[in-house]
Amino acid sequence: MSLLASTARPSEAGTVHIALGDRSYDIHIGPGLLGAPSVWATVPQAHSAVIVTNETVGPLYAERLAHALGTRFRRVLQVSLPDGEAYKTWESLNRVFDGLLAAGCDRKTVLFALGGGVIGDLTGFAAACYMRGVPFVQVPTTLLAQVDSSVGGKTAINHPRGKNMIGAFYQPVQVVADLDTLDTLAARELSAGLAEVIKYGPIADAAFLDWVEAHLDALLAMDKEALAHAVRRSCEIKAWVVGQDEREGGLRAILNFGHTFGHAIEAGLGYGEWLHGEAVGCGMVMASDLSVRLGLMPPSFLQRMVRLVERARLPVRGPKLGTDRYLDLMRVDKKAEGGEIRFVVIEALGRAGVRAAPDEVVAEVIEAHTG
């Protein structure tokens, strides 16, 4: 039984709608979207557009986006940041503010987050803060960002003590996922994105898990039809969950399957050593084992997840940080309450829940899957 087998449907081919009242918006999915002026016709009109990107993505796609935006904005500016999770910091955030202020950008200025999850999260947080809030558009160029981080309005920067600990819920006015931008994605980044695709099956749609297993080779080969379905179905599921629980008061926490262990890996190693999706892939294996040890799932589920994560070319063993270090890092997790660590676990295929677990059981999981 799945939480979401067929509840959410795209409102039209290539479009998924996020229903949040006056904060509702569309996710446009397909090839050739970046340079099409018609795609941007519903973006709020203003004097200035500012493309926030990084040193890797900017040279590939910023000019194409700027040309398309030139029909709607009098001037299109660009702020380029260093590339990588290590730069998801206050310093990078201030570089965005410096650029906006130096250009005299007003409160109607529209920001465009052109890049992966780091750029999307950081630009969204900048938009939430600048002049107490300006519009922004997500233009995700990685698979991970297209299926997860660009959707739902969670924006943040990292702190040395924890990932995404400083941020805000702030929704974009539109998401444009141009599948052609995945053509330049490195194999490692593709696999990292597949981790976020894989998670949607166990937490919400058992049939989608079956589909991912059957089409994983096509996804790894960058088959456009397979990628289009993976992005669309992932966005449908996330849209439904976010529509029920925008600010993670309950249900939305299930989207963090594997993330409590994964965030500990990222923070413990230092941001950027492992890609976020790599840490999540390993974290899903650990969370699957925890689900088994808590008596919720059979051992065959863990074996299935290990096989799938390995096939996606993701790590299934975490770094040996030490059990106490893992536990300390996970107590900083946003789902923790009163110092008690709470984990997203699988209660049945297609249904997840959030539960506390005894430290000794969590320690067994850590020791079984690290080193």
Annotated active-site residue 132? The verdict is yes
3-class secondary structure, 117: helix
Which one from 17, 95, 229, 252 is the annotated catalytic residue?
A: 252
Does residue 324 have a known ligand-binding role? Answer: no
Annotated active-site residue 335? The verdict is no
Closest CA to 199 of 262, 246, 249, 113: 262
Does residue 99 have a known ligand-binding role? Answer: no
Which one from 189, 196, 246, 266 is the annotated catalytic residue?
A: 196
Which one from 189, 248, 266, 278 is the annotated catalytic residue?
A: 248
Residue partners of 197: CB distance under 8 A and separation at least 6:
143, 147, 212, 219, 230, 234
Which one from 238, 334, 342, 351 is the annotated catalytic residue?
A: 238
Looking up tokens 């994605």, which residue turns up?
185
Annotated active-site residue 276? The verdict is yes
- Taking each helix axis from N to C terminus, what angle separates 259-269 and 323-330, rounded to the nearest 10 degrees? 110
Does residue 87 have a known ligand-binding role? Answer: yes
Does residue 116 have a known ligand-binding role? Answer: no
Query: Half-sphere exposure (CA, 13 Å, Cβ side) for 207?
Result: 8
Does residue 67 have a known ligand-binding role? Answer: no
Does residue 159 have a known ligand-binding role? Answer: no
Annotated active-site residue 154? The verdict is yes
Does residue 249 have a known ligand-binding role? Answer: no
Does residue 55 have a known ligand-binding role? Answer: no
Nearest 5 degrees, angle CA 250-CA 254-CA 259? 120
The pairing of beta strand 75-81 with beta strand 48-54: parallel
Does residue 85 have a known ligand-binding role? Answer: yes
Does residue 84 have a known ligand-binding role? Answer: yes
Does residue 323 have a known ligand-binding role? Answer: no
Annotated active-site residue 75? The verdict is no
Which one from 276, 334, 342, 351 is the annotated catalytic residue?
A: 276
First to last CA, the chain: 35
Q: Which residues pair with 169 in a beta bridge?
A: 154
Does residue 196 have a known ligand-binding role? Answer: yes
Annotated active-site residue 196? The verdict is yes
Annotated active-site residue 256? The verdict is yes
Does residue 245 have a known ligand-binding role? Answer: no
User: Using the 8-state DSSP alphabet, how is residue 245 labeled?
Assistant: -
Annotated active-site residue 236? The verdict is no
Burial status of residue 100 (CB atoms within 10 A of its CB: 0-12, 13-18, 19 or more): buried
Binding annotation for Zn(2+): 196, 259, 276
* Residues taking part in catalysis: 132, 154, 196, 238, 248, 252, 256, 259, 263, 276
Binding annotation: 83-88, 117-121, 141-142, 154, 163, 181-184, 196, 259, 276
Binding annotation for NAD(+): 83-88, 117-121, 141-142, 154, 163, 181-184
